[in-house]
Structure 1
Amino acid sequence: MPLLAYWVTYASLDRAQTDWYLFWRARFRAGEPLPTDLSYIFLHVYETLHGVGFNRPEAAFAHLQRLWRSYRVDHPQLDHHLVDWLADFIRYYDLDDEVTRAWLDEAWVHAHGDLAVHYWLERGGGGEVPEGVFQHLISYRPEQNKFYRDAEDKAALDTLLRRAVVLTDSFYRETTGESVFERLKTKATHTVERRAFSGAVFEGPDFQYTVATIRQYRQDGRLSKLLTQAVRHAENLARKQVGFRSLLRDVKLPANLAAYLDVHLAPALATLQPPSPVQTPPAPERPRVQLDLGRLATLQQESEQVRGRLLEETEPGEASTDLEPSISPAVPATPALPAAPLAAVHRPPLPAQVAEGELTEVDSIAEVLAGITDAARDLLRQLRNQGWEAPEGDLRLPPGVFTSTLVDEVNEAAQPRLGDVLLQQQDGRLVAVDDYRNELAFLLGTPEPAALTPPLDGPWGALAGLLSPLHLEVLAQLLQTDLTLGELEVFTTARHALGSAVLEDLNSHALDTVGDILVDPYGDPLTLEDAYRDDVRRVLHASGLVHPE
């Protein structure tokens, strides 16, 4: 029986859903993980966190592990919740044996943010860079561009790009005697504290504990900027290797580091293959028609004779009195006007010197801009002014026009000229494809100056750096008025997100940085904690959403 409920309890189920849940749970305990909806799994997780059905916490912990491993592929959301709750379970029930220590050694790769970097470096760094570390340290997303999407072997490309992070660290160790993470580290640290089973339906005594004291690796941006440029340099090497038509722009690295990466990435580059050409199916052979030219000539002659007799029998201006249907003389067809030539595509002259791989698609982009409406061009200008990525709710549109309509217009104009799209809609945000941003910037002109915002330091500055635009919008709403759970769901659903997940992420980031949650997830209505209202107002002011009082 289908079930979609948040913070699900027994009271959330009707009779048929209860029957299915009890059947599914019995089969899972017997070793048969039947497919089921995520809400049933969460209900069973909540039971297990309370120890329902288990005599010892060690048995409940092993059961939670099996539940996570059985369903994490079909329900990736479990990685976000169950990994943390399993760690909480160890602390809450004071477990300490080989099984739990082995699990901690396995599960750290699922951490995120500064905590992921902390665990990775604590284990020596090097080797494969975990997803959480890469996503946190690199401000560029390769998977959003055409080159990555068309790659024959994405796994090999991922390995190459992440290898650039490890090689940058190796370069610093060889040339300075220090890891790049030590050389460019910030002095800022913060203590990560957690409330056990945060976000779960749990009625046991409240329990908070300290996870670790860690550095804020993206605090001043130097480390992230260097590693991001190294990854982009590695991608340009891959693009050259497979003969891709354009390179990423504005890649700036010290010459000796670039040379080091060139040498040490060469073996991995050799394994990359250009994408297979798209085979156009041959056009079906048209059937041959044999014409009888003699018969055609006879028919033409007979037609001319009939037409001549009719013209002789009917004087001009007189109607035919024949009872037989008359045939009007042929009226010469008006010659078709030649099709109006396409308007010339105007673009500014290219700079005197253009670096290799730059502005390679400027003519095609100019054609795209010439073929779309003013509203669509204005949408592109707004994206340019906001760094080529913006929440859809922040974009100014003509009355009655939807973002998706303009996106379709731009992409339909781009597809035949570029073989690619220019815009992507991702989780309520509109993003311009990286490969064409320089051409768009060149053709759209100079962007408007961005408004200055006050800097934030310390834990609240770290939190501001982690919050997404949707998190900020939710905080801005809560700063003005309390929200019921239903109102939160309506607000986030309009932005293509689940309210419970947004709230969980928001509180998780707050715990990682300022050491406490900002909104009690069990309240209805949801209320912003009074002690943090002024700090939240500063975060929103720095993001340009509210003015300071």
Structure 2
Amino acid sequence: MKNIDDLIELIMGDPKIRESKTLGEKVYRDEPILKRASQLVRDIVPPKDNTPAQLMEMRRMVYSPEAQWRSREWLFGKQGSFMADFEDNYEKIIPFEHYFPTYNDMTLEQQRTYFTWRTRIRQGEYMDISLSYIFVYIYELINLIGVKDPSEAYGSLKTLLEKYGESYPKLKRFVSIWLDDMVIYYGLDIALLNSSGILEFDDALCVLLDLDGHTDDEVFSALCIMSSYNAEKSAFYKTYPEEFRTVAVRSYKAFSEYYGAHRKKTLFEKLFGKSTISVHQMFGSAVFCYYRSSPQNSVVIDNVRRCFCRGGEWFSEGYAGKTHGNKQVGDFFRAIDSIMRTGFDFKNKLQAPDITKQLSKIINEQITILQDEKRQAEKLRVDIDLSKLGSIRRTADITRDKLIVDEEDLEEDKSPQPDMQEDVAEESVQDNTTPLDSGEYSFMQALLYGGDHQAAAKNAGAMPSVMADSINEKFYDIFADTVIEFDGDTPAVIEDYEEELKGMILP
């Protein structure tokens, strides 16, 4: 190729280049290399007849001498304060996508779209819009642009999260952190941190730091808050909730004692570490004007956490972690669930996680102790059936009447007569207040007091099995159960009802 003219001729000879719309629309002419600021503004921000003057003025701020050496955060705060009360009514909706967006990253049409959307937001209309526009509005709120105080900014930001959080998970992730930062940075009510789970997390830590100073229910709740495994949704827990809670708390306390005696660090330190001081970047990843000083220098959040500012830099002192996120506590709960299912012969088994032999031993020991306690309690349990009080009163009345003796009787000969025993037996049957007939009554007397039940049945003209069935049927309304059972061919009174029956059937 001979010279530059030949090269230009070759390029322009290409039909694709020659017919290019982009090339055809542009006119190229000589221009000065250096321009005055006013010339630069006119070139980049061409005047528009229908463009609001305030918006044009905001765009010119980019080219002020101070803006040339200041940060983009400073420029955002300057432009935002200038446009804090601006409203627009632009008809178009121009998409906008940009990382860490500011006004300066938008075209004129995008700026008008943004301020029109912001106008409607302030009127309570939350229309669909590009995520980058939403972030610009969030940056305004955390910088207190367009609000009267931090409380209003916090409320507006929380409402924005409620309206757009489900549609934009990324928004939810960032804004949740920035809401907490607003509470600390601007000195808002610490109770607002409840929504993020920080206070719940720290309260659980306080419980686990002082096991002896809290109830078993408080310890179990604290472990649930920390655990990555939701034990309360377990099928076994729903069947045996009290037993699960008891074994879990006792096992945790026993394992904590074991660590205190055999390890250099406590179980708490193993699971949750130690309280540390770390740098905390307020409003990290946001466009935030740090030249705005915080009214706070130190904020005590709770008994185990605080934030403080030194030399313009913020620090956080406390425990790392998140609510419901501790895998080690989750494995502890899952191991208890698995081992207890085996110990209680639960129909659905659960695979146990990898745990130490010592922890497995402790859990099994606590299950055995609990089961022994339940067996002992069953032996000592006294059930009172109020429906049987009537028969007990009737029996007591009979006993009372027999103990009352007239004075005339005292003068009679107290020596026993030859048929006295027969008379007593006959009187006992005559005073029968049970649903049994005389033969059945005598049969029950024989069973209760060691008499000849065979003879009693024979005198009544019936077989012992028939007598027993009739007695069980008549007593069912009182005991809601059979009172006589057979050991082979021998009838016997059920031990649980023996004393009560003796109160109804006298010797």
TM norm structure 2: 0.36
Work out which structure has the larger RCO, using CA pairs closer than 8 Å and 6 or more positions apart in sequence: 1
TM norm structure 1: 0.34
Question: Which structure is larger by alpha-carbon Rg, 1 or 2?
Answer: 2
